[in-house]
Structure 1
Amino acid sequence: MFEDTHDEHVLLTPGPTPIHPKAQKALMRNMLGHMDPEVFALNSEIQNDLRVMYGTEEGAFTALLAGTGSLGMEAGFANLVEAGDEVLVCANGSFGRRMAEMAARYGAKVRLVTAPLGEAINPADVAAHIDGVNMVAVVHGETSTGVLNPVPEIAEIVRHSGALFTVDAVTTAGMEPFKMKDWGVDYAYTGAQKCLSAPPGLAPIAVSERAFARFAARRSPTPLWYCDLDGLKDYWVEHTYHHTVPVNLHYAFHAALRAALEEGLEQRQRRVRQMGRVISRTLEPFGFSHYVKREAERLPTVLALRLPEGFDDAGIRKALRQREISVTGGLGPTAGVIWRLGLMGESARPAPYRKLMVALSDLLGEPSLVGRFDDVVQQEAGELALS
């Protein structure tokens, strides 16, 4: 029989993240219809808050897609790419490769700009391949390797090309600087369950006026009806029926996003960086090291740590899971090589990671590990009280 252990389980994965208490409470609200005036008022607040989070132009179209971040990714290509379009995709990990596959499925002629695993995309490589492209697509924070790609620098190159600029902000929006208007991003998306610590099932998107103009000039109808921009705009702006949205997920998302904005995006950026330093400084003496060598290229929200020599990755993670602690290993070539520790939203706090250190201290036979963690937290708390 299934045993409910959600109050005890420690979730330290790169998504989903622990649900914010306010979002958990909002999730239990009584149901309203998706066409109810109160729901439309809630949606309007969500749209305004998303404009703040993404840093959009005034009045930019924002919305929640009823699906996870991968639907946000696909909706961008479905609406803004047509057969024969030239699309340049920056791929230095699993999710950049997924972008390339999706673009190709919608008929794009895909050009790839790549970088070795654990390294960021070089903007000069983008500049060398951008002539004649209709769209440039990049993952801001590559979840599979813990790399932060230089989106502002790439954006400056795209700005002078006339191409649309699509950015996967799944592990950055809500916890890292994101300036859609200033950078010239045309389409951005994330997942509710990432930096905002809301339940999975929603993909918050933002669309520029320039992207809408490109969409309006399409030569053929959007192949993905469910996420057609006109249909979405009918519901979110005109308040006419398109499909039934998951109202209770909207309640929870609204609460989580509002909590993030009330905490302050700059404070959240400081908090995640501090927690990254706490964890890496704690584990370095025990043989863990940064997988991403250049500090400027490290994604703060997904800490990728190379495992010590001889470390039993699968065995230790299984033992942790038996103690109600979930951590995530590498994907593909990095399986057994790294751990990817989530530092998004409510996971970027000392309490859950202290539980990890207690367990690792026992499993690795390193009694000093917990004390070291506590000492480093105290040192970091001089700048910002971590709780």
Structure 2
Amino acid sequence: MFEDPYTEHVLLTPGPTPIHPRAQQALMRPMLGHMDPEIFALNTEIQADLRAMYGTTDTTFTALLAGTGSLGMEAGFANLVESGDEVLVCANGSFGRRMADMATRYGANVRLVTAPLGEAIDPDDVAAQMNGVQMVAVVHGETSTGVLNPVPQIAQIARQHGALLTVDAVTTAGMEPFHMAEWGVDYAYTGAQKCLSAPPGLAPVAISDRALARYHARRTPTPLWYCDFEGLRDYWERHTYHHTVPVNLHYALHAALRAALDEGMLNRKARVQHVGQAIQTALAPLGFTPYVQRPEDRLPTVLALRLPDGFDDAGVRRALRERHISVTGGLGATAGLIWRLGLMGETARPAPYRALMNALEDLLGVQGLTARFDAALEPVPV
């Protein structure tokens, strides 16, 4: 039996996140055709705002792909990789491994740089394998383990060797400053439902001039017609038909992205850190500890906490779900070992986590969680 669709639910997952109120309101706008001049004007504003979010140059091509973040990942390999290319993939979690799988399917000779689960990629390991590499691919924030990889250092290495750099910015862009031009990133993507708190179904991308030059130097056509870079430019820049875009999702993304920029990336980063520290302070006496040992390697937007000994992971999460609170556990080797608490967009607020503390007090028969959480939130950052 399905629940009442209007039952309020507390999403504490690494995505999707609760829809921003301005995005929710934007979804109510009347439908327009995807070739309407008003939609082209809206798209132009989205492109400019994406340049601000990603920290690009004024001429960087930005767009929305009609799909989730995984389409953003695939589009990069489809357009920038040809059979026989040497691609180095940094894989220290599920999404790095997904990058390797996709690059292989597009004919790349994939070299892996790995790190143990819960540890960041070592830039020295990247440098050691760069001979002949044409592209480096890395996940900035590895959602599956809560690890932040050192993209600026990896970008410097890639640029020194003349290689393109593609970055999965799904759990970072839109919640903290991202410096695509300054770092030297060539292709970046995220998902609308992550840091921006827009509905799922769009993948905001940014493509550097170097990446477009590599695309135009291809020996063979892009095998993925739907996201061919020139086809995208036909629609986004030349305003000619390519495919039907989800106009209502564009409305919502535009509103959510503008709300994020209005708040400011430094303020959003501070909000994440503030709420995340309060969660850790509240749960630490129960035996919850950071899964990622080195503080500088911890991904702020996905708080990975090792569970206390004997903790009934599945049972507690099931009981929370019955109270309309969703918490995500580990993936693969970390299943039953960690919780991954989302701190992106509208999830990085005190209210959703106060609800979690109240519920855990009742379910676990403990006191003081909510009081510790609230105490740790003072003073509120400016």
Deviation above 4 Å: which 4+ runs of structure 1?
A: none
**Residue matched to 1:119:** 119
Alpha-carbon distance in structure 2 between the residues aligned to 1:332 and 1:42: 41
Alpha-carbon distance in structure 1 between the residues aligned to 2:5 and 2:312: 26
**Residue matched to 1:310:** 310
Alpha-carbon distance in structure 1 between the residues aligned to 2:25 and 2:58: 31
Alpha-carbon distance in structure 2 between the residues aligned to 1:174 and 1:47: 14
**Alpha-carbon deviation of 1:375?**
1.1
What amino acid is aligned across from residue 84 of structure 1 in structure 2? G
**Residue matched to 1:42:** 42
Matches within 5 A, 1:144-155: 144-155=144-155
Q: 1:213-252, CA deviations, whole angstroms, 9 ceiling, x for partnerless residues?
A: 0000100000000000000000000000000000000000
* Contact 2:278 2:374 (8 Å CA) reproduced: no
**Residue matched to 1:27:** 27
Matches within 5 A, 1:159-198: 159-198=159-198
**Residue matched to 2:94:** 94
Q: 1:150-200, CA deviations, whole angstroms, 9 ceiling, x for partnerless residues?
A: 001111111111000000000000012210000110000000000000000
Alpha-carbon distance in structure 1 between the residues aligned to 2:367 and 2:209: 57
**Alpha-carbon deviation of 1:371?**
1.3
Task: For residue 340 of structure 1, give the secondary structure of its aligned residue in structure 2.
Answer: strand
What amino acid is aligned across from residue 75 of structure 2 in structure 1? A
Task: For residue 62 of structure 2, give the secondary structure of its aligned residue in structure 1.
Answer: strand
TM (norm. structure 2) is 0.99
| Structure 2: tracts of 5 or more residues without a match | none
**Alpha-carbon deviation of 1:6?**
4.1
Alpha-carbon distance in structure 2 between the residues aligned to 1:177 and 1:374: 27
**Residue matched to 2:349:** 349
**Alpha-carbon deviation of 1:94?**
0.1
Q: What is the aligned-residue identity percentage?
A: 76
**Alpha-carbon deviation of 1:7?**
5.1
Q: 1:18-76, CA deviations, whole angstroms, 9 ceiling, x for partnerless residues?
A: 00000001011110000000000000000000000000111100000000000000000
What amino acid is aligned across from residue 38 of structure 1 in structure 2? E
Alpha-carbon distance in structure 1 between the residues aligned to 2:2 and 2:284: 38
Alpha-carbon distance in structure 2 between the residues aligned to 1:21 and 1:365: 35
Task: For residue 129 of structure 1, give the secondary structure of its aligned residue in structure 2.
Answer: coil
**Alpha-carbon deviation of 1:4?**
2.8
Matches within 5 A, 1:8-27: 8-27=8-27
Alpha-carbon distance in structure 1 between the residues aligned to 2:43 and 2:252: 12
**Residue matched to 1:241:** 241
**Residue matched to 1:218:** 218
Matches within 5 A, 1:75-90: 75-90=75-90
Alpha-carbon distance in structure 2 between the residues aligned to 1:322 and 1:47: 41
Task: For residue 377 of structure 2, give the secondary structure of its aligned residue in structure 1.
Answer: helix
**Alpha-carbon deviation of 1:5?**
4.5
Alpha-carbon distance in structure 1 between the residues aligned to 2:374 and 2:208: 45
Alpha-carbon distance in structure 2 between the residues aligned to 1:218 and 1:200: 31
Q: 1:93-126, CA deviations, whole angstroms, 9 ceiling, x for partnerless residues?
A: 0000000000000000000000000000000000
What amino acid is aligned across from residue 327 of structure 1 in structure 2? V
What amino acid is aligned across from residue 293 of structure 1 in structure 2? Q
Q: Over aligned residues, Cα RMSD in angstroms?
A: 0.8
Q: Structure 2 vs 1, CA of residues 146 and 215 (structure 1 numbering), >3 Å: closer, same or farther?
A: same
**Alpha-carbon deviation of 1:359?**
0.2
**Residue matched to 1:130:** 130
Work out whether 1:287 is the aligned partner of 2:287: yes
Alpha-carbon distance in structure 2 between the residues aligned to 1:369 and 1:71: 40
What amino acid is aligned across from residue 185 of structure 1 in structure 2? V
**Alpha-carbon deviation of 1:370?**
1.4
**Alpha-carbon deviation of 1:2?**
3.4
What amino acid is aligned across from residue 13 of structure 1 in structure 2? T
**Residue matched to 1:376:** 376
Task: For residue 204 of structure 2, give the secondary structure of its aligned residue in structure 1.
Answer: strand
TM (norm. structure 1) is 0.98
**Residue matched to 2:264:** 264
